[in-house]
Amino acid sequence: MSILVLADLHEGQLAGATAHVVAAAQAIGGDIDVLVAGEGVQAAADAAAKLDGVRKVRVADNAVYAHQLAEPMAARLVELAGDYTHVLASASTPGKNVLPRLAAMKDVSQLSDVIGVESADTFLRPIYAGNAIATVKSDDALTVITVRTTAFDAVGQGGSAAVEAVAFAADNSQSSFVKEELAQSDRPELGGAKVVISGGRGMGNGENFKLLDGIADKLGAAIGASRAAVDAGFVPNDMQVGQTGKIVAPELYIAVGISGAIQHLAGMKDSKVIVAINKDDEAPIFQVADYGLVGDLFEILPELESKL
């Protein structure tokens, strides 16, 4: 078995997700290489080389891979894939963008959102928004997998893998990058944060989301939102937690003014401890919350912030 892991980058640095994907690769077993593709990514490559279990890091450092557009990335991967039995990436926006294209080009079926490894060809993955877990077996010559990072504990950083450059090959006449609009924030990444506090429609408007800021500062938390809050324009899309947003599993998840729709639960029910603050004591969120506090968030949030 030989496995290629596509590294996740966050502003040019190695994102925490990669250590979880390497853990999934270890569960499969075999030689594990990491591909770091981007522009100015030497530091990210060095960080990847420290991950336990990595045999070598392959670096494709070229402007064509900046922003990890699917077209050049998949073209690069297709060429490397011949050396491997498996290609893995996290089920994050870049992974979900690039790997399906690789799978199509190799004419194989991708396995998405893998949460468990039974053997080198048999995997567990959620279906029906996490309401059932399927065990699937792949007989494709190349197994292309996106990994749900919350399901695998990150590997350590005691490694010292070799780092080698792979020559530039991808042509990209197909697409180019115009702009990316992300919510600017000094807070931790939503997907990797130890604490997440999310607001829902109950927050009333975008301005009120500021009530979460002070608490998030004190807890070192990332701020998330329900789809209703996003659709109402309170906060940007990339803050959405749930089936069609980000999947999170922090140590502590605090849901504020969120009713607990199944599509929201799909994104956070694997959190270790869940707290719900809601004025409706029948809200379904209380069925999954370890600690529920019934009351008006506009009174509870300032009190919580001052007492933390």
Partner 1 sequence: MRSWPKRLPTCSLALTSNEPRYAKLPDIMKAKKKPLDVKTPTDYGVEVASKVTLLKVQSPAERKGGIKVASVDELIDKLKNEAKVL
Catalog residues that contact ligand FAD under the rule CB under 6 A. 200-202, 226-229, 240-245, 257-259, 261, 263-264, 267, 278-280, 283, 296-298
* Number of residues near partner 1 (by CB under 8 A): 57
The rounded distance, in Å, linking the Cα atoms of 225 and 256 is 9
Three-state DSSP at 47 gives helix
Give the per-residue contact string, 214-253, with partner 1 (x = CB under 8 A; - = no).
-----x-----------x----xxx-----x------xx-
Q: State the pairing for strand pair 273-278/291-294.
A: parallel
The rounded distance, in Å, linking the Cα atoms of 43 and 128 is 39
Closest by CA to 151, choosing from 194, 113, 197, is: 113
State yes or no: residue 288 binds partner 1 (CB under 8 A): yes
* Residues 134, 139, 140, 144, CA torsion sign: positive
In whole angstroms, how close is the CB of 163 to partner 1 at the nearest point?
Answer: 29
Q: Which is nearer to partner 1, 167 or 182 (CB)?
A: 182
The rounded distance, in Å, linking the Cα atoms of 58 and 48 is 10
State yes or no: residue 84 binds partner 1 (CB under 8 A): no
Q: 135 contacts which partner out of partner 1, ligand FAD, none, CB within 5 to 8 A by kind? A: partner 1
Cβ neighbours of residue 272 closer than 8 Å, sequence gap 6 or more: 249, 250, 251, 252
Tokens of 3: 């496995």
In whole angstroms, how close is the CB of 52 to partner 1 at the nearest point?
Answer: 26
Q: 154 contacts which partner out of ligand FAD, partner 1, none, CB within 5 to 8 A by kind? A: none
Residues that bind partner 1 (CB under 8 A): 69, 108-109, 111, 122, 126-127, 130-140, 173-182, 195, 219, 231, 236-238, 244, 251-252, 269, 272-275, 281, 286-294, 300, 303-304, 307-308
